[in-house]
Amino acid sequence: MQRQAIFIGPNAISPEEAKEMPLTRSAGIVSSVVQNIRLAPRSLTCIVAFTFMATLGCNDKSAPSSATTNQTQSPPKMKMTTAIPPSITTPDTVDTRLGTLKFNDGFPDDATVQKVYDNLDFSRGVQAFMSGMPGASLVAMRTGFQKLRVVNGTILIYEDRLDSKSLFLTGNTDSVYFSTWLNLKDGPLVVESPPKVLAFLDDAWFQYVTDIGNAGRDKGQGGKYLVLPPGYKGEVPKGYLVTQPRTYNLWLMGRGFPVNGDIKPAVEGIKKNLRIYPLAQAKNPPETKFINGSGVEFNTVHSNDFNYFEELNEVVQAEPNEALDPERLGLFASIGIEKGKPFAPDERMKKILTEAAAVGNATSRAILFRTRSNDAHFFPNSAWVTTFAGGYEFLSQPGVRNLDARTMFHYYATGITPAMALKMIGIGSQYAAAFVDSEGKPLDGSKTYKIHLPSNIPAKDFWSFVVYDNQTRSMLQTDQQFPSIGSQTKGIVVNPDTSVDVWFGPTAPAGHEANWVQTVPGKGWNVLLRLYGPLQPWFDKTWKPGEFDLVN
């Protein structure tokens, strides 16, 4: 074994001086043991060096740790010394919302390192809660559907309309919903669309895939859609409307509409014409089954606690990395959610993520109920806001994502399609949400409000109000089966000039029972105004709904 000494310090040491210095770990001496280590198949030399700063006038006492002490003197001016801009340096102490952070000539002490890493993990957890919400939301949807065995060839249909017993983010009571979960792991699927419906496919990250029906390529006449798995290289037969999503799992959502107030024709048309089956069985398709979801109690809403991250992990594990942008996948990986690896946070990380879910939930609620985005408001000094700020892709300008708009929508609602966001006069639908009254106060279930809809309501097909619970963002559960009212409501009173007045409160105002929607004392609520077949006055804002005025 050969030993060599390596000295680092402010002054040079001659070979003669070096011979007289012991190879010990003393202040002012840097020593290392060097040995040649033979490694098969080649001989490599490894030098393991233990280095220590040497100073003039040192003694044999151990020096304090540089990570826990401050500089006792300013460094001398050296030949290469230049003026350093103060803006690029770090003071020895910095007061922040994390507390006082301490540094020794820019090197963070142990307490500071712990604080900033805890904060980094926490902040990334909060961002993962909001940025991963589209995927977690559909995992919750899939979980609810799987309990009813609604997948591929089985369709959930609301033959008697959706009511408040099923927990769906901002579902409506006006149309006949039909929905199912598609899984392409076993190969392409065929979806035969019924005529006269509004339907769409979204992938597992809630990214738009295609419209089906009135706004789709079949133009509402019905057609055969062929859905190919990601990376599919097989033969594609002719005669299909082909689409290829980025994920294996997909959500199919559709609506049929009443005919002269009767929903039976819509139900019959869907059950007669909607078919889903594997392409491999196209010559002899199996039977498509339907389950009536009306009155069924089940949940499709994502968690707001630590379990949220478990839901997020499900979609990350199930889908190709190519289905989502690297930035968000990197964010999820930074908190331990990465494809092909178990999500197993230790006690410290689980505690941090539990708090991150709580703060992420609180932030999402603030963004939804008290949006600070001017782009979200339909009118100045009005409660009415859109949940599609920046369109169905939530872009504030080309190539720039409006992050708050994306969070606002996915915390409140489901369904990504241009038909719900783009200007399509007389086609599709438009939505306006209100969370506060005319004085900017939260809508209170113990109070009574009145709203006036001016004449010539701009809806070619029909309009409606549906009331939602602030907690669940699902329909408010009251004594009324359907917490809603609209132009198709039997007995609704329309004023001679075609305007309409509607009351919301715990009890019906005398003489206005036909135009009343029940609320619950002790419960906060919000409302969506829906316009089906929206007309030009809505888009050019020459027609404006009234505000929610408190009735004394």
Summarize the confidence of residues 226-238 as an average pLDDT: 96
Among the residue ranges 34-48, 174-188, 408-422, 436-450, the one predicted with the least confidence is 34-48
What pLDDT was estimated at residue 9? 58
All residues at 6 or more sequence positions from 177 whose CB lies less than 8 Å from its CB, including other chains: 156, 157, 158, 161, 162, 171, 253, 254, 255, 293
Look at residue 429 in the predicted model and tell me its pLDDT: 85
- For residue 341, count other CB atoms closer than 10 A to its CB: 12
The answer on pLDDT for 7 being more than 70 is no
* pLDDT at 219 exceeding the cut of 70: yes
Q: Which two tokens stand for residue 447?
A: 């109070």
* pLDDT of res. 20: 55
What pLDDT does 326 receive? 98
Nearest to 220, CA basis, from 467, 13, 427: 427
On the question of pLDDT at 427 being above 70, the answer is yes
* Tens-place pLDDT, residues 82-105: 999 999 999 999 999 999 999 999
Eight-state DSSP code of residue 60: S
pLDDT band, very low/low/confident/very high, at 28 (cuts 50, 70, 90):
very low
- Residue 131, Ramachandran bin (φ over 0: left; ψ between -120 and 50: alpha; else beta): alpha
Structure tokens at 98: 């994390």
Angle, nearest 10°, between helix axes 326-334 and 110-131?
Answer: 130
Mean pLDDT of the chain: 89
pLDDT tens readout for residues 32-77: 433 443 344 444 333 333 333 333 344 444 444 444 444 557 889 9
Average pLDDT of 172-197? 96
454: CB partners within 8 A, 6+ apart: 499, 543, 544, 545, 546
Nearest to 286 by CA among 294, 275, 299: 275
**Side chain identity at 341, as an amino acid letter?**
K
Q: What is the pLDDT of residue 522?
A: 95
The 10s digit of each residue's pLDDT in 310-360 is: 999 999 999 999 999 999 999 999 999 999 999 999 999 999 999 999 999
The residue with tokens 């050296």 is 78
- Return the pLDDT at 57: 41
Whether a cis peptide bond, with omega within 30° of 0, leads into 86 is no
- Sequence-distant (6+) residues with CB within 8 A of 55 are 9, 10, 27, 28
Q: What are phi and psi of 218, to 5 degrees?
A: -85, -5
Predicted confidence at residue 464, as pLDDT, reads 97
Number of Cβ within a 10 Å radius of residue 207: 17
For 241, the enclosing helix (H) or strand (E) is strand 241-243
Phi, psi of 404 (to 5 degrees): -65, -35
Over residues 137-164, the pLDDT tens digits come to 999 999 999 999 999 889 999 999 999 9
- Report which residue type is found at 434: A
Residues in Cβ contact with 392 at an 8 Å cutoff, skipping those fewer than 6 apart: 208, 416, 417, 418, 420, 421, 422
Mean pLDDT of 362-391: 95
Residue 265 has pLDDT above 50, yes or no: yes
CA 545 to chain centre: 29
pLDDT digits (tens, 9 = 90+) for 273-285: 999 999 999 999 9
What is the separation of C-alpha 341 from the centre of its chain, rounded to a whole number of angstroms? 22
Residues in the chain: 552
Which string of DSSP letters, residue by residue, matches 302-360? Answer: PPSSTHHHHHHHHHHHHS-GGGS-HHHHHHHHHTT--TTS-----HHHHHHHHHHHHHH
Give the CA distances from residue 281 to residues 112, 155, 286, 359, 463, in Å, rounded to whole numbers and listed in that order: 63, 18, 7, 49, 41
Q: How far apart are CA 342 and CA 53, in angstroms?
A: 43
- Which of 166, 162, 169 has the alpha carbon at shortest distance from 147? 166
Provide CB contacts within 8 A for 187, sequence distance 6+: 229, 234, 278, 279, 280
Structural tokens at position 121: 């993990």
The per-residue pLDDT for 26 is 40
E strand segments, 244-314? 249-256, 275-278, 289-292
CA angle 218, 222, 223 (to 5 degrees): 70
Nearest-10 Cα torsion for 209, 210, 212, 217: -160
* Cβ neighbours around 508 below 10 Å, total: 15
